[in-house]
C-alpha cells in the first residue's frame, strides 16, 4: 500500500551536507501498522515526513496504492493521508467540531454530511459528542486532545495514516489506554499506518512490522517477534535491550504455549486417588480440583494428599490464579512470580479448565527461536526447524 523506493533526503547545513535518510526502500502492506523505530536523529521522522512532503525528498519515490505520488498535487496528496503529530496541533481558534471537520470541509463535503461524520468519529473515540463538539481544545486534557487529533486525521477516511510519535507527550497510564483504544479501532478500520516511535515497547505492542533506523539507514525491517528473536546486528540487539527475550512475552499469547493435557480431580474423589494421579502425571506439588462444569475450584497439594485421608472436597486449598487463552505471557509470568507457582491452569471464556501453562513450556517456546537461530548459524545449510 505504501511503498518507498530509494527515498533519500540530504540537508544542506553550514557544516556541510547531512544525509538524513539514505536510500530507504520498504513496503507497508495494506491494513498493517509499520513502526519506524530508532534513536533520535536516525532519520525515522524525516522518512515519515517525506511521504506527505512536509519534507521534500532529495531523490527517490513514494508509491501509495501502487501510484507514484511524485506528480500528484501536494494538497490533494495530503488530504488523502491522515496526519497525527506529537504536539497534537489542534487549532485553538476552532471548536472540536470545527477541528475534526477541517479536512471534510476542504474536500467540499456538504454540511449535513460532515456534521454527521463528526458525531460518528466522536463515538468511535468514545467521547460524548454533545459534551465535547462545541468546546475548544484548551478545555480538554492532553489525552482527550490527542484522541481528537486522531479523529481529525481519520475524518475523511483516508486509507493511509502517518503518525509522528502520536502518544509521546501523554502520561504513561493514559498512553496505554489510548494505544489499546487505537488498536481496537484499527482492527475495524484496517488503515495502512506508518508510525514513528522511539519507544521499543510501544513498537512491539502496536506494530505489525517494525523498521529500525540508524544514522539515516534502514537496518532491519521485520515483524516484532522476528526482530526480538533474531536481531540482525549488534546495534539492533543493543537497541532492543538485554531483556529482549522478556519483551517477547508481550507478543506470545497463552494459546500458543498452552498444553491441553491436564489431570484433575473432582471434589468427590478421595485423597488417595489424587495422590495416585499426581504421581501418574509426574506433578510435583499439587493437582487441580474442578467441579462438574470443569471450573477450577481448588488445589490438592501433594503433601496433604500423602499425609491425610478423606475426600478432596474437605482438604483443598484456593486456586492461586487462572489465565485465559488470550492473555499474553507477560501477564502469566507476572502471576507465576507473584504466586510462586510453576504452572497455572488455563480457562476458556466460560471459566472451564482447558489446559495448563508451565514455566517450562514458556521458556521452551521463547528459547526455540533463539536456538533455531544459533543452529542455523552453526550449520547454515540445514533447514531450520522451529
Residues lying near other proteins in the complex (CB under 8 A) are found at: 52, 54, 74-80, 83, 85, 87-95, 102-103, 106, 136-138, 152-153, 162
In Å, how far from its chain's centre is CA 213?
19
Q: Which residue number, 131 or 303, has a Cβ lying nearer to other proteins?
A: 131
- Closest by Cα among 127, 110, 129 to 119: 129
Cβ neighbour number for residue 366 with a 10 Å cutoff = 20
What is the distance between the alpha carbons of residues 123 and 129, in angstroms, rounded to a whole number? 7
Q: Which residue number, 63 or 136, has a Cβ lying nearer to other proteins?
A: 136
Residue 233 CB, nearest approach to other proteins (Å): 34
- Closest by Cα among 94, 105, 108, 4 to 49: 4
Residue 2 CB, nearest approach to other proteins (Å): 16
- Quote the crossing angle between the two packed helices 142-154 and 111-124, to the nearest 10°: 130
Q: Which residue number, 77 or 204, has a Cβ lying nearer to other proteins?
A: 77
Q: Which three-class secondary structure state does DSSP give residue 336?
A: helix
First to last CA, the chain: 31
Q: Which residue number, 93 or 187, has a Cβ lying nearer to other proteins?
A: 93
Q: Which residue number, 104 or 355, has a Cβ lying nearer to other proteins?
A: 104
Residue 167 CB, nearest approach to other proteins (Å): 15
Residue 151 CB, nearest approach to other proteins (Å): 12
Q: Which residue number, 75 or 339, has a Cβ lying nearer to other proteins?
A: 75
User: Residues 6 or more apart from 216 whose CB is under 8 A from it?
Assistant: 19, 20, 21, 22, 42, 43, 46
Residue 3 CB, nearest approach to other proteins (Å): 20
User: Residues 6 or more apart from 103 whose CB is under 8 A from it?
Assistant: 79, 152, 155, 156
What is the distance between the alpha carbons of residues 153 and 151, in angstroms, rounded to a whole number? 5
Strands (E), 181-310: 192-197, 209-214, 217-222, 264-265, 286-290, 296-301
Q: Which residue number, 195 or 343, has a Cβ lying nearer to other proteins?
A: 195
Residue 168 CB, nearest approach to other proteins (Å): 13
Residue 120 CB, nearest approach to other proteins (Å): 18
Amino acid at each position: 500500500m505504501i511503498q518507498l523506493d530509494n527515498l533519500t533526503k540530504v540537508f544542506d547545513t553550514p557544516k556541510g551536507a547531512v544525509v538524513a535518510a539514505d536510500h530507504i526502500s520498504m513496503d507497508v502492506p495494506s491494513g498493517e501498522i509499520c513502526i519506524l523505530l530508532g534513536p533520535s536523529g536516525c532519520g525515522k521522522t524525516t522518512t515519515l515526513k517525506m511521504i506527505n512532503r512536509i519534507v521534500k525528498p532529495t531523490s527517490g519515490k513514494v508509491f501509495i496504492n501502487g501510484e507514484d505520488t511524485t506528480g500528484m498535487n501536494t494538497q490533494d496528496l495530503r488530504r488523502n493521508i491522515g496526519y497525527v503529530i506529537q504536539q497534537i496541533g489542534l487549532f485553538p481558534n476552532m471548536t472540536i467540531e470545527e477541528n475534526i471537520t477541517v479536512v471534510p470541509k476542504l474536500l467540499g463535503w456538504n454540511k449535513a454530511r460532515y456534521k454527521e461524520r463528526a458525531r460518528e468519529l466522536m463515538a468511535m473515540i468514545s467521547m460524548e459528542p454533545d459534551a465535547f463538539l462545541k468546546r475548544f481544545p484548551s478545555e480538554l486534557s492532553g489525552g482527550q486532545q490527542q484522541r481528537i487529533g486522531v479523529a481529525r486525521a481519520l475524518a475523511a477516511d483516508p486509507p493511509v495514516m502517518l503518525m509522528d510519535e502520536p502518544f509521546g507527550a501523554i502520561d504513561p497510564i493514559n498512553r496505554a489506554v489510548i494505544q489499546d483504544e487505537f488498536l481496537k479501532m484499527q482492527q475495524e478500520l484496517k488503515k495502512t499506518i506508518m508510525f514513528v516511535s522511539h519507544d521499543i515497547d510501544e513498537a512491539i505492542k502496536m506494530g505489525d512490522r517494525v523498521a529500525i533506523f540508524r544514522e539515516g539507514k534502514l537496518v532491519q525491517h521485520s515483524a516484532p517477534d522476528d526482530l526480538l528473536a533474531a536481531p540482525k546486528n549488534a546495534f539492533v540487539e543493543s537497541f532492543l535491550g538485554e531483556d529482549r527475550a522478556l519483551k517477547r512475552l508481550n507478543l506470545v499469547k497463552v494459546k500458543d504455549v498452552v498444553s491441553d493435557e491436564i489431570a484433575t480431580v473432582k471434589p468427590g474423589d478421595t485423597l488417595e486417588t489424587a495422590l495416585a494421579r499426581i504421581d501418574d502425571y509426574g506433578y510435583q506439588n499439587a493437582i487441580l480440583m474442578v467441579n462438574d462444569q470443569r471450573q477450577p475450584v481448588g488445589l490438592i497439594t501433594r503433601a496433604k494428599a500423602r499425609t491425610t485421608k478423606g475426600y478432596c472436597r474437605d482438604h483443598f486449598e484456593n486456586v492461586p490464579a487462572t489465565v485465559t487463552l488470550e492473555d499474553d505471557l507477560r501477564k502469566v509470568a507476572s502471576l507465576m512470580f507473584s504466586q510462586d507457582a510453576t504452572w497455572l491452569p488455563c480457562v476458556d471464556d466460560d471459566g472451564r479448565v482447558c489446559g495448563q501453562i508451565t514455566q517450562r513450556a514458556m521458556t521452551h517456546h521463547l528459547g526455540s527461536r533463539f536456538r533455531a537461530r544459533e543452529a542455523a548459524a552453526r550449520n547454515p545449510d540445514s533447514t531450520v526447524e522451529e
